[in-house]
Structure formats: C-alpha cells, structure tokens
C-alpha cells in the first residue's frame, strides 16, 4: 500500500511538472506595448544606449536595442553590443564554484584557509571559520562596499587586495547581518586557480562562456580592440552636458564584477539557468547546486517604505551570488550591476520560465523600473508607470543633494584661515589598509596624490580652518570632497581625514597618519 501511494505521488508530480513546463506567455500586443514603453523611458531618462532581452520557455521572445553606444560617434547599439555587467558577474563566480562542488572537488562549507592560507580578516576566529558559503552570501561582518578603494583603480594585485583586507574593521558580528562585499567575492574567485590550475578568467571562459556560445563575452577590458562592438560609459546628470567616461580596469576584482557581455549572449545564460542548468542538451550546471545558490542564506530586512511601495513583497534575502525577493506571489531571482557609467539588471522568474536582462551605458534607476514593468506585464498585475515613479525619486534625490551642498557652503566660515604654513601640511600620510598618500605643493597650491591609485590626483583649495576642499583631476563622476588636517597637542599635523561623499566608496574608513 505504501509503495503504491509513493508511486501515485511520483506520477502526480511528474504530470504536474509537465503541465508547469510551459508557462503562459504574454501577447504580441503586450510585447509591442513594452517595446514602446522601453523606448519612451530611454529617452525620458536621457540614457545614451540600452539593450533588453526577454526569454521564456527556452526561447528568446524579445531582443532589441535603443540609442547609441557612443554620443560622439552616434553608433547604434544592437543586441550584440558589449556592456559592462559589473556585479552580475557574481552569479557567474558562484556558478563556477558550483561546478567544482558538483564534481566533489570542493564543498560549500569548506574553510577558506584550506585553499588560501594567507586569507585573514580582522578577527583570527573569523579568519579560521570563514567558509566558501560565507564569502558568497555577504555575511562576513564587513559593511557594504567596505574596502572597495583597495581595488578601484589601484595597482594592487588580487592577492595584495586580499592580504590588505585583514586591516578592515568589521561593522557587524560574523554571520550577524548582510553587508555587501566585493572583496569576499574576489576571495571566492581566487579559490578556483588553487583547485583547478586555471585562473578564474580562464575557468569562466572554458566552463561557462564556451558551452553557452558566449564567444564575444569576456572578463577584462584588455580584451577590447578597435573592432569591438562596444558601448562606452557615460556620465549623465540632469541639467548638465552628457560626457563620455573612460573604462576603468577591474582585473584585480574580476570575480566580483569584470564580465562584459551582450543581451544576445546573456540570453543563453538565462535559458540555461531556467532549464535547470541544461543548454542545447548539455548539462552545464548541476540542478541541485542551482537550487542551493537560490536558497535564502542572508536576510535583508524589509524597510517600511518597501511595504508601502511593494505591498506584495514579504521577504528579501541573498543567496549565493543572487539577490532574492518575492513579488506578486513569485520568487524573483535577480542581480544588479553598477560600474562607472554602466547599470544593468538581470532577472529570473523560475515559476514562469521567464528571464530578462537590461543593459545601459549610464548610471540610472531605469533598469529597476523596467524590471517591475516587465514583472507586472507577465504576472497580469495592474501596471504602474514605474519609469515615471523612479524618475520622480531620482529628481528629488538630485535636488536634495544640491540643497545639502548649498547648505554646507552657506554654513562654512569663509573668513577663517588655516593654522600653519602650506608647507607644514605637505608630506607622506599612510595607514595599514590603503597605503600611502602624498601631499605636495604645485605652483603654490596643495596637491594630493593617492599613490596606489595613480588616477587619483586632487587639487586642494582652502575651505575653512584646517579643512581643504578636494577636486579629483579627470574624475568627473566623483564630486568634490574635503581633506581635514588634524593637529596634535604640539600644533603639528598628525593625521589627515579624506572624505569624498558618494554612494559607492567610503574614503573615511581609510586612516592616513603623517609619516
């Protein structure tokens, strides 16, 4: 009797899986409406170029490009145009490690020091107990983006960045709460060459790109050439002229964010993900490990405004390389990616056999707005105008930033003087985390050079008292900041505090003491 019951259950589940195998697609009319909405939104946000692809039930049902790759040449974006996908790389790193787990060569709960003995964090206990799983779900105890100035534009190698991470002071307890860490994903990626003898880059190409036919995708801007079908990054600010940005080399943090790809090739990645790891009849990823990567590992508490804006959203968490939440009764597996002048969003809705990707070549909230617009269409939800809602938020945020800057300017003491001669502020300042900074005189004015980051050269102007404003040369996407020189009991400069307010890098966590 028991065996018959089990057989019935198995047969029922098999028939149910067949019924669910094909999810209901939206109509051609709805697709056309989305297409018009995408084009309208791209223009509204003044996004130079954008590409979008939607896959469902194993097929590409929509793939289209909008705008230009480069505002100087006006070359049009197409479905094969490469964009920096930034942190969407993280799911590739987790997938690469899942291949090794499926082969029995590593375990998610292996200690990191088993493979990287030089890996150390602030606490010896955390250093010894940190597992591969911990690295991939942002629960190290470091706050979000902690240590990112160790890699951004620096000359430090991957190993040197990891070694310097031991000086970063954690904000939370180990495994206590979510803190997004690029450096921990770098650590995870560096396990691959130890186990396989292949670099992270080569492993991604051999085990993921090639089987998926992602032949134009790459893991470094060093692969670009004059013939590359390439979107360039742009700096777009309301009321200002749109400007081209330079690509910054991310080789030293590659496992966290260095992949460049197109909507055409990312469609294959999504089809494989939605087909339990299989593509063109070949099993690329193990289905059980896909399940493991999409499990909730680290909770991200919902804010009150989330409940107000998204009443159907009841949880938010992070898996292994994936961001997870629910929307209108569906589990959403997704990730965003942000680089200089590039924002992307890749979304999977496994229950609907649905996936889509949005790539843009400026910093904006539009990919998130489009995500909700597509989800509403495919879940038969009454649609908001998400693009307009997010644009209103964007305009308010920009206005508040300008208001705060003006208030700071109004409150500063313009009559105050610095305490010492300019020569007294010059010299080398340094700390364990970042390294050395040099302050010198050029044409009678102070100039600051962050030595590990050659592109960071800042001109200082007196602001008030012993504080100077700093403007980084040729870095148009970071605002003005301040340099505050601290005097000791003898009236001599002992320390420097650098602060350039921005959403990505915390300059204040770097300590600079005068040598």
Residue-level pLDDT at 306? 87
In contact, 283 and 277? CB cutoff 8 Å: yes
In contact, 89 and 258? CB cutoff 8 Å: yes
In contact, 509 and 497? CB cutoff 8 Å: no
Nearest-angstrom CA–CA distance, 284 and 276: 9
Nearest-angstrom CA–CA distance, 462 and 468: 4
Does the pLDDT value for residue 244 go beyond 80? yes
Q: Under 8 Å CB-to-CB from 141, ≥6 apart: which residues?
A: 121, 123, 126, 170, 171, 172, 173, 174, 175, 176, 179
Residue-level pLDDT at 178? 98
Alpha helices in 197-284 (DSSP H): 200-204, 254-257, 263-274
Residue-level pLDDT at 169? 97
What is the CATH architecture of 422-514?
Answer: Beta Barrel (2.40)
Residue-level pLDDT at 352? 96
State percent of the chain over pLDDT 90: 90
Nearest-angstrom CA–CA distance, 242 and 43: 13
pLDDT tens track for 465-506: 999 999 999 999 999 999 999 999 999 999 999 999 999 999
Does the pLDDT value for residue 255 go beyond 60? yes
Nearest-angstrom CA–CA distance, 439 and 447: 6
Residue-level pLDDT at 179? 98
Does the pLDDT value for residue 380 go beyond 90? no
Q: Under 8 Å CB-to-CB from 234, ≥6 apart: which residues?
A: 48, 71, 242, 243, 244, 245, 341, 361, 362
pLDDT tens track for 91-107: 999 999 999 999 999 99
In contact, 462 and 418? CB cutoff 8 Å: yes
CATH fold of 23-397: Beta-lactamase (3.40.710)
Residue-level pLDDT at 12? 40
Nearest-angstrom CA–CA distance, 194 and 99: 15
User: What's the Cα-to-Cα distance from 500 to each of 429, 455, 475, 510, rounded to whole Å?
Assistant: 17, 15, 12, 12
Global confidence as pTM = 0.94
Residue-level pLDDT at 22? 59
pLDDT tens track for 285-338: 999 999 999 999 999 999 988 888 999 999 999 999 999 999 999 999 999 999
pLDDT tens track for 105-146: 999 999 999 999 999 999 999 999 999 999 999 999 999 999
Does the pLDDT value for residue 23 go beyond 90? no
Residue-level pLDDT at 18? 38
Q: pLDDT band at residue 19, thresholds of 50, 70 and 90?
A: very low
Pairs from 311-318 (Cβ < 8 Å, separation ≥ 24): 318/137, 318/138, 318/178
Does the pLDDT value for residue 271 go beyond 60? yes
Residue-level pLDDT at 56? 97
Q: Give the HSE-up count for residue 164: Cα atoms under 13 Å, Cβ half-sphere.
A: 23
Where along the chain do its domains lie? 23-397, 422-514
Nearest-angstrom CA–CA distance, 82 and 361: 10
In contact, 471 and 449? CB cutoff 8 Å: no
């Amino acid at each position: 009797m028991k065996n018959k019951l089990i057989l019935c259950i198995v047969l029922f589940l098999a028939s149910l899986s067949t019924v669910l195998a094909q999810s209901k697609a939206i109509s051609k009319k709805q697709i056309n409406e989305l297409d018009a909405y995408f084009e309208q939104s791209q223009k509204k946000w003044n996004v130079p170029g954008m590409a979008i692809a939607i896959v469902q039930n194993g097929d590409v049902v929509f793939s289209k490009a909008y705008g230009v790759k480069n505002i100087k040449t006006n070359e049009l974006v197409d479905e094969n145009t490469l964009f920096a996908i930034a942190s969407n790389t993280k799911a590739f790193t987790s997938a690469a490690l899942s291949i090794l787990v499926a082969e029995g060569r590593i375990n998610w709960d292996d200690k990191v020091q088993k493979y990287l003995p030089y890996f150390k964090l602030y606490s010896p206990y955390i250093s010894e107990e940190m597992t591969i799983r911990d690295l991939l779900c942002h629960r190290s105890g470091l706050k979000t983006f902690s240590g990112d100035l160790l890699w951004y534009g620096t000359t430090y190698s991957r190993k040197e960045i990891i070694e310097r991470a031991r000086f970063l002071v954690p904000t939370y307890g180990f495994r206590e709460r979510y803190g997004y860490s690029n450096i921990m994903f770098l650590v995870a990626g560096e396990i691959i060459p130890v186990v396989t003898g292949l670099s992270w880059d080569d492993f991604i190409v051999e085990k993921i790109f090639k089987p998926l036919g992602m032949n134009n995708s790459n893991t470094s801007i060093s692969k670009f050439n004059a013939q590359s079908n390439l979107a360039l990054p742009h700096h777009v600010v309301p009321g200002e002229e749109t400007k081209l940005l330079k690509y910054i080399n991310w080789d030293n943090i590659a496992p966290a964010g260095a992949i460049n790809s197109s909507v055409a090739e990312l469609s294959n990645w999504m089809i494989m993900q939605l087909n339990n790891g299989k593509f063109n009849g070949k099993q690329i990823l193990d289905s059980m490990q896909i399940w493991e990567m999409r499990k909730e590992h680290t909770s991200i508490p919902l804010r009150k405004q989330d409940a107000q804006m998204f009443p159907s959203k009841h949880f938010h968490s992070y898996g292994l390389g994936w961001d997870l939440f629910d929307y209108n009764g569906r589990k959403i597996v997704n990730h965003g990616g942000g680089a200089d002048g590039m924002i992307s969003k890749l979304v999977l809705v496994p229950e609907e056999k649905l996936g889509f990707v949005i790539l843009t070549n400026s910093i904006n909230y539009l990919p998130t707005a489009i995500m909700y617009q597509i989800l509403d269409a495919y879940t038969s939800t009454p649609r908001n105008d998400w693009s307009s809602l997010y644009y209103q938020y964007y305009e308010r945020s920009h206005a508040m930033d300008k208001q705060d800057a003006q208030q700071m300017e109004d409150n500063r003491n313009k009559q105050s003087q610095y305490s010492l001669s300019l020569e007294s502020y010059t010299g080398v300042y340094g700390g364990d985390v970042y390294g050395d900074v040099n302050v010198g005189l050029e044409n009678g004015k102070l100039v600051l050079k962050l030595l590990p980051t050659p592109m960071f050269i800042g001109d200082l102007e007196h602001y008030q008292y012993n504080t100077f404003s700093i403007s980084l040369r040729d870095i148009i996407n970071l605002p003005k900041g301040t340099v505050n020189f601290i005097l000791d009991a003898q009236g001599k400069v002992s320390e420097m505090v650098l602060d350039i307010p921005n959403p990505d890098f915390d300059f204040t966590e770097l300590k600079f003491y005068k040598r």
